[in-house]
Structures are given as structure tokens and as C-alpha cells.
Amino acid sequence: MGLAVTAIDDRTEDGAWYFIPRYTGPMAAFTRSRESNVVTMTSVQTMVDNVIAVLDGNSISWLNILDHGNPNGIQIGDQWITAGTLPHYSAELGRLTPYFSAGATVHLQHCESGQNRSLMRALAGIWNVTVRAGTGLHNSVLRVNYSLEPYVLCNADRCWDEPPPPPTEVDWSRKACCFAAGTSIHTPQGFKAIETLEEGDSILAWNPQRHTVEPARLEKKDVHAGRFPVTRLETMGKFVSATDGHRFAVDRMPWTPTEKLSAKTPLCSRGGVISLDARTFAGYVDKVYNLVVEGFDTFLVGDHGLIVRDH
């Protein structure tokens, strides 16, 4: 499973931005306090160099790029990427291409960049990823786009509007409550992607009586095929993608399904309690997975080892 990386031009602090005085550095410092794998950039080259350096041999599953933008182009450091200038920078940007994992996303967190679909398709073609952007003004502190229009998603061939979240009135207890492919499962041998596990494998489970992590036998792996909406849960710069209905351990509360989680929810992990930073709709997948664990009915997901129930 790849890393989530954020590249930010901290020189955007100078002057007035979003109608408040800014000073050099605070937004980058704020971003680092909330996320892992944050790098700064002053140009296309420094962005590429710094992103590659922070990977330390890992791949990229999600790349946020935070800078100024408008309907004509996006800024990366002191350089503007537009339809006219992109050929000049394409080789440098292309150095990132081999580092993206399959299904990776680049989120352009620039104002109005989602209005330039041709540029989004061109960037998607260089990187072989999905490019995501909003069409309105973007607040890089709150990490929201103020447009009422949906986010735009593009690959090299086409663009489409990001689907809305599923309606909350759906009875998810009758649906598959699972995780998307690529979800890291903790085992005695390290992380393993959920889709690679086999019945009889040894994984790590949470013993609620002893409050310890212990090896347990994977009794069954359920695989569901169809079209499933998934939610992306972000904790300290790491992501887990789950369907609604799957239950997470929450500090001093009952087991809580995905759709009831919100920012600041205190999630229980193998290392202690950590705060949920964000919960966003991540789109649809055609296959999801769940595990049935012998004895404990629990397992650990994601880089932080969030404690979840089997279902």
C-alpha cells in the first residue's frame, strides 16, 4: 500500500490570502502537525525531488498538491503549469510516474483548477493516475473547496463528476460491510493487503479481555463483487477505505459503524487512541473484502492498526 504525500508551497503565506494576513511558514507547519509525509516546494523540480525523497522506497497512493490556481492553470512553486507551459515541464513531472501505485490519485488543491479539464487530463496522462480537483475557491487550511459543484475526476481519456455520497437512510446492515482492496492488515509477518490473505493464515487480533494484540487464525475471507460506495478515513496522513456499516473501536463508546464516524472521533488502534482527521466519500469499487477471525472477532487495519470487528 502506498503513502499519502502532501506537497505545499509555503511561500503562499506571504501577503493576503483568503482575506486574512499571512506570514511565511504557518500553513506548512499546521499541515505538518496534522499529516505525515509533508514536503515543501519552490518549483516543479523541488516538488518532484522532495516527494521522491520522502517515499524512502515506498510508492504513492495519494498526492496532494497545495498552491495557487485559476481556471487557466496551477502554480507549483514559482512556476505556472498551463496548456502552453506544460510541454516544458512534462519531462520533470514525469519523473514521478514510476512511483505511483496502481489506482493512485493526485488531488490538485488549487483554486478553480477543476474548471480546466484539458489540463487535468494531460496531467493524468503524464502520471497514469486519476486527477481530482474542485471548481471553486480552495481553502488549504480547512482543505475544502467552496464550489457547490461536485469535484471533477479525470484520467487521460475523459473527465467525470465525482459521485455524491450514498444516502444515509440505506440500511447498511443488509449490505456488505467490508474494506477495499489494498487495505493493510496486520499480521505477525508485517502488513499484508487484505485481498492477498488466505483462510488459515495467521493475522493479528485485539483481545478485548486482556487488551493485548495477539495472533489469531483467519477462519474465512469474504469477497463481495458488485458496485460498492466506500468512505476514506484519514488519520495522521494515512488512509483506510471502508464501506458503511463496518464497525470500528471508538474510545469509551460502543463499536461504531463507518457512517457514524466524524472528524475528531477518538479511534482505538494497536498503539493507543488516535483522532480521526477526516471522513470523505472516495467513490465506488467493484470488489470488497471482510475477514472472519477465529476466537476474537477483531482485526487491525491500516498503517496505524485501527481495531475493527469482523462482520
For 82-139, write each residue's pLDDT tens digit.
999 999 999 999 999 999 999 899 999 999 999 999 999 999 999 999 999 989 887 6
Q: What is the pTM of this model?
A: 0.53
Q: Note the pLDDT tens digit of each residue in 169-198.
A: 444 434 567 898 889 999 999 999 999 999
- Asked if pLDDT for residue 32 goes beyond 60, the answer is no
DSSP classification of residue 35:
-
**pLDDT tens, 257-307?**
998 998 899 999 998 899 999 988 877 787 889 999 998 889 999 999 999
In the CATH hierarchy, which top-level class contains the domain 172-309?
mainly beta
Question: Quick check: 169 and 265 in contact, CB under 8 A?
Answer: no
Provide the residue ranges of all domains of the chain, joining segments of one domain with +.
Answer: 3-161, 172-309
